[in-house]
């Protein structure tokens, strides 16, 4: 059975103190940082993640896809909660859907629909543990391959410099 996490984006974002501080001066960067963490978790665990944010006021908040993370914005003035509820009710058969939110109303609705609920705090702790494990793995004698470096560079931006294979 395919495991899919449905994440209440801003609810989870507030579980990370450093991201919560970023919100005050750079909301887009805070969201991107959360998406990078979710992508790492998704790839490490082999699960799909859909994350929903309140509408940004942009003309066409169409779904985006970043690796194994699908990003949705509600259409203003709608908030994320009704969109999350619709996504729960429209879930595909054969998927194990897990809602990540600490919002009681959405959680109650998900449980009524037979969806497992994990609090944002618990999920954030699992992400931190996974991140720590990955960082620990990288401190061993294993080097990153060129492909892994290119994937990280594509994910976080920037150019690789100083290497012998650079043009």
Cα diameter, the chain: 58
Q: What is the mean pLDDT of residues 98-104?
A: 97
pLDDT for residue 66 = 59
Residue position matching structure tokens 């082999």: 46
Q: Which residue did the predictor score with more confidence, 10 or 153?
A: 10
Look up the pTM and report it: 0.74
pLDDT for residue 167 = 45
pLDDT confidence band for 139 (50 / 70 / 90): very low
Which percentage of the chain shows pLDDT scores above 90? 47
Residue position matching structure tokens 């729960």: 88
108 preceded by a cis bond (ω within 30 of 0) = no
CB distance 97 to 85 below 8 Å: no
pLDDT, tens digit, 9 for 90 and up, residues 48-74: 999 999 886 554 444 555 567 999 989
Out of 9-18, 47-56, 82-91, 106-115, least confident range: 47-56
Please state the domain extents for the chain: 2-121+132-156
Say yes or no: domain 2-121+132-156 is CATH 3.30.70.
no
pLDDT for residue 1 = 76
pLDDT, tens digit, 9 for 90 and up, residues 36-47: 999 999 999 999
């Amino acid at each position: 059975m395919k495991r899919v996490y449905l994440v209440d984006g801003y609810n989870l974002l507030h579980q990370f103190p450093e991201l919560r501080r970023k919100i005050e001066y750079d909301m887009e960067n805070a969201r991107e940082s959360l998406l990078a963490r979710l992508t790492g978790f998704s790839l490490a665990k082999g699960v799909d993640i859909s994350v929903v944010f309140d509408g940004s006021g942009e003309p066409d908040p169409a779904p985006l896809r970043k690796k194994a993370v699908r990003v949705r914005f509600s259409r203003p003035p709608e908030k994320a909660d009704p969109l999350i509820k619709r996504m729960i009710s429209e879930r595909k058969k054969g998927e194990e859907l897990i809602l990540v939110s600490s919002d009681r109303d959405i959680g109650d609705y998900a449980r009524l629909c037979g969806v497992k609920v994990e609090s944002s705090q618990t999920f954030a702790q699992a992400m931190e543990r996974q991140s720590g494990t990955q960082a620990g793995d990288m401190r061993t004698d294993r080097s990153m391959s060129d492909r892994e470096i290119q994937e990280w560079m594509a994910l976080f931006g920037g150019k690789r410099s100083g290497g012998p294979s650079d043009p």
